Amino acid sequence: MTRPQPGAGSAPRRGRGRPPAAERADGPGARERILEAARAEFSERGYDKTSVRGIAKAAGVDAALVHHYFGTKDEVFAAAVEVSFEPALIVPAVVGPGPEGVGERLARYFLDVWEDPATRAPLLAVIRSALTHEAAAKVLRGFVLRRLLERVARDLDVPDPRLRAELAASHMIGIAVLRYVIQVEPLASAEPEAIVALVAPTLQRYLTEE
């Protein structure tokens, strides 16, 4: 379900988690394996039916190790989501090069993430979960969006930067819903570049123009 994450290929395959197997299963790739398992579990089962125990089992580690690396289920959820939309990745790539062309870079970055079925599945699961479970909405609101949008807004030289960053994000989320979930035509089959061409000026305006 998920594409390999940086470092996933080098994960050691020793051991299946049970106490005191947490230590045996630990190693350079355990954290990434847990994240991968978390994304797969949240994608397949939804927020509600996913448990730390289930994630641990899928990752072949002890539940204690999941808690050790991430904390609560909510924190695993946030970490699993942030793999795709991590401020540390998105901000330098999109906002870093400066205001010119930021709308186009954001639209393309976003569509790239969604066009890849491996990253699309967990993101859809996140949106579904957030729309149906207040706990998941809270995680998305608190951990993910706040961090990401604050970081993007910090680099904007416009009035109401947070509100504008959120409007840009809302457009991207709405496109995802109509294109990938509800699948209205012609949006569902449109070439990504055709969408980028139409949407980039909108994002550019929100992020850079008064």
113 is a site residue for a copy of itself (CB under 8 A): no
- Considering the complex, state which of residue 92 and residue 201 has its C-beta at the smaller distance from a copy of itself: 201
**Which amino acid is residue 80, in one-letter code?**
A
Choosing from 115, 132, 154, 193, the residue that interacts with a copy of itself (CB under 8 A) is 132
86 is a site residue for a copy of itself (CB under 8 A): no
175 is a site residue for a copy of itself (CB under 8 A): yes
Closest CA to 80 of 117, 49, 50, 110: 50
58 is a site residue for a copy of itself (CB under 8 A): no
Choosing from 56, 81, 94, 130, the residue that interacts with a copy of itself (CB under 8 A) is 130
Stretch that binds a copy of itself, among 8-16, 85-93, 112-120, 197-205 (CB under 8 A): 197-205
Measure the CA–CA gap between 85 and 53, rounded to whole angstroms.
25
- Considering the complex, state which of residue 70 and residue 180 has its C-beta at the smaller distance from a copy of itself: 180
Closest CA to 142 of 91, 55, 83, 82: 82
- Scored b (16 or more CB within 10 A) or e, 96-113 reads eeeeeebbbbbbbbbbeb
- Considering the complex, state which of residue 48 and residue 112 has its C-beta at the smaller distance from a copy of itself: 48
Rounded to a whole number of angstroms, the minimum distance from the CB of residue 163 to a copy of itself is 5
DSSP 21-45: HHHHH-STTHHHHHHHHHHHHHHHH
Quick one: how far is CA 131 from the chain centroid? 15
Q: Using an 8 Å Cβ cutoff, are 81 and 138 in contact? A: no
Choosing from 171, 193, 196, 207, the residue that interacts with a copy of itself (CB under 8 A) is 171
186 is a site residue for a copy of itself (CB under 8 A): yes
The secondary structure of residue 156, as a DSSP letter, is: -
Q: What residue ranges bind a copy of itself (CB under 8 A)?
A: 127-128, 130-132, 137, 140-141, 145-146, 149, 160, 162-164, 166-167, 169-175, 177-179, 181-187, 190, 194-195, 198-199, 201-202, 205-206
